[in-house]
C-alpha cells in the first residue's frame, strides 16, 4: 500500500544557521489519523511547511502518495489540503469568494467551484455568513473557514496545524467530530496540537518531534501501553487528617479530601481499593491527574533535556 507521506532524512537549516530539522524519517499510512507532536520550536511547523511547499528543504526526500516533491511538485500540491496555525486569508474578502478562489487555484472551474464551496460552507456551518467579510467572523468561524478552504478541492491528505487553538470547547468538539468524519470517509489526516487530550482521542498513530529529531513514532495504543506510571486523584467522602501507613502504591494526601495515588506499570487499582476498604476510607470519585499522553510527552521531552545536560 502506498504511504500517504514518506519523509526520508529530511533536513532544514535556515539562513540564520538554525537547524530546524536534523534528519527526519517518517511514514504516514494512507487513511491514518496521525498526530505530530512536539514542544514549541521543535520543528513541527517546518516539517509541515516543507510538505505544503511553503518552506524549502535543505536536503532529504518528500513523497506524498508516491509523488516526489522535487520531481512532481504539482502532483504533491494537488493532494494536500492545509489548515495553517495562523489566519492566512484576505480579511477583506467575502467568505464565499475565499473558498471559490482557492478551488480556482486548483483548476476547478468557477461553476463547479461554486457548488463545492456551497457544500463545504454548509458542512462547516458557514453558509449563512458566506457574503460576510472574513474579518467580521468570530475566531471559531475563521478556523472553520480555513478548514472549508482546505477541503474545497477534496484532497486525500489534510494537514491541520493546531486547528482548535483558541476555540471554545463546544466548537472544538464539533471540529473533532468533523475531522473524524472526513477521516472515516478516507482522508488521511496529520494533526499537530498542543491539546494532548485531542491527539489521544482522535489519532491512531503518533510521532513526537523534539529539537529537529523524531524521538517517538508508534501507534497511539502501543505508546500508551508503554506508560510506566499513572497518577490518579481520589476524592474522599470524609476528611482524612493523617494517612495510614502500608499503602500498596505510592499515596500522598493532597488535602484532607483528596489523595494522590501513583501506580507503577505492574501495580493495580484493585490492590489500592482493597487496602482503602480495609482502612475504612470511602472514595467518592477518581480521575487521572494528568492526561495519559501528556504524561508520556512530558516524560519523553524532560528525559531528553536531562540527557542533553552536561
Partner 1 sequence: MTFHSRYWTAFYTLLIKEVLRFLRIWVQTVLPPAITTALYFIIFGNLIGDRIGEMDGYGYREFIVPGLILMAVIANSYANTVSSFFQAKYQRHIEELLISPVPNWIILAGYVAGGVARGLVVGAVVTGVSLFFADVEVAHPLLTLMVVFLTSVLFALGGFINAVFARNFDDISVIPTFVLTPLTYLGGVFYSIDLLPEFWRQVSLANPVLYMINAFRYGILGVSDIDPGMALALILGFILVLGAVALWLLWKGVGIKS
For position 107 contacting partner 1 by CB under 8 A, the verdict is yes
Nearest-10 Cα torsion for 240, 246, 248, 249: 50
Query: Quick check: helix, strand or coil at residue 14?
Result: coil
- Chain CA centroid to CA 282, Å: 38
- Overall residue count recorded for the chain in this entry: 310
Among 101, 174, 201, 291, interactor with partner 1 by CB under 8 A: 101
Phi, psi of 145 (to 5 degrees): -60, -40
Grid cell in block for residue 13: 537549516
Among 1, 71, 109, 241, interactor with partner 1 by CB under 8 A: 109
Stretch that binds partner 1, among 107-115, 220-228, 249-257, 274-282 (CB under 8 A): 107-115
In the shown chain, the binding pattern of residues 135 to 164 toward partner 1, with x for contact by CB under 8 A and - for none, equals --------------x---------------
Stretch that binds partner 1, among 86-94, 198-206, 219-227, 285-293 (CB under 8 A): 86-94
In the shown chain, the binding pattern of residues 255 to 284 toward partner 1, with x for contact by CB under 8 A and - for none, equals ------------------------------
- Chain CA centroid to CA 235, Å: 31
> Where does residue 221 fall: left (phi above 0), alpha (psi -120 to 50 degrees), or beta otherwise?
alpha
Euclidean distance between the first and the last CA atom of the chain, given in angstroms as a whole number: 44
CA–CA distance, 111 with 97 (Å, rounded to integer): 13
At closest approach, how far in Å is the CB of 31 from partner 1? Answer: 22
CA–CA distance, 304 with 211 (Å, rounded to integer): 10
Stretch that binds partner 1, among 28-36, 83-91, 202-210, 261-269 (CB under 8 A): 83-91
Among 23, 73, 156, 248, interactor with partner 1 by CB under 8 A: 73
Stretch that binds partner 1, among 105-113, 120-128, 137-145, 207-215 (CB under 8 A): 105-113
Q: What does each C-alpha distance from 20 to 40, 41, 128, 143 come to in angstroms? A: 11, 8, 42, 27
Among 6, 77, 116, 142, interactor with partner 1 by CB under 8 A: 77
> Which residues, 6 to 25, sit near partner 1 by CB under 8 A?
14-15
Positions in the binding site for partner 1 (CB under 8 A)? 14-15, 49, 52-56, 73-75, 77-78, 80, 82, 84, 86, 88-93, 97, 100-102, 104-110, 149
Amino acid at each position: 500500500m502506498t504511504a500517504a507521506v514518506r519523509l526520508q532524512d529530511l533536513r532544514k537549516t535556515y539562513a540564520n544557521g538554525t537547524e530546524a530539522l536534523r534528519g527526519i524519517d517518517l511514514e504516514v499510512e494512507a487513511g491514518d489519523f496521525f498526530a505530530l507532536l512536539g514542544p514549541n520550536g521543535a520543528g513541527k511547523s517546518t516539517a509541515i511547511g516543507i510538505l505544503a511547499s511553503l518552506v524549502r528543504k535543505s536536503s532529504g526526500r518528500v513523497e506524498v502518495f508516491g509523488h516526489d516533491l522535487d520531481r512532481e511538485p504539482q502532483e504533491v500540491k494537488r493532494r494536500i489540503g492545509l489548515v495553517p496555525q495562523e489566519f492566512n486569508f484576505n480579511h477583506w474578502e467575502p467568505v464565499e469568494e475565499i473558498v471559490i478562489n482557492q478551488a480556482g487555484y486548483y483548476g476547478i472551474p468557477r461553476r463547479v467551484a461554486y457548488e463545492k464551496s456551497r457544500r463545504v460552507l454548509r458542512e462547516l456551518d458557514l453558509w449563512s455568513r458566506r457574503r460576510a467579510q472574513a474579518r467580521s467572523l468570530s475566531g471559531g468561524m475563521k478556523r472553520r473557514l480555513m478548514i472549508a478552504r482546505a477541503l474545497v478541492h477534496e484532497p486525500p491528505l489534510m494537514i491541520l496545524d493546531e486547528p482548535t487553538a483558541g476555540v471554545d470547547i463546544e466548537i472544538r468538539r464539533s471540529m473533532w467530530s468533523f475531522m473524524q468524519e472526513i477521516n472515516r470517509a478516507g482522508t488521511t489526516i496529520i494533526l499537530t496540537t498542543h491539546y494532548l487530550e485531542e491527539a489521544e482521542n482522535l489519532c491512531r498513530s503518533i510521532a513526537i518531534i523534539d529539537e529537529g529529531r523524531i524521538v517517538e513514532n508508534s501507534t497511539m495504543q502501543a505508546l500508551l501501553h508503554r506508560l510506566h506510571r499513572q497518577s490518579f486523584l481520589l476524592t474522599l467522602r470524609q476528611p482524612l487528617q493523617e494517612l495510614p501507613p502500608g499503602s500498596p502504591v505510592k499515596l500522598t494526601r493532597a488535602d484532607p479530601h483528596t489523595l494522590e495515588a501513583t501506580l507503577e506499570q505492574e501495580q493495580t487499582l484493585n490492590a489500592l481499593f482493597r487496602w482503602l476498604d480495609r482502612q475504612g476510607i470511602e472514595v467518592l470519585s477518581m480521575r487521572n491527574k494528568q492526561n495519559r499522553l501528556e504524561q508520556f510527552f512530558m516524560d519523553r521531552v524532560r528525559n531528553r533535556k536531562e540527557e542533553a545536560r552536561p
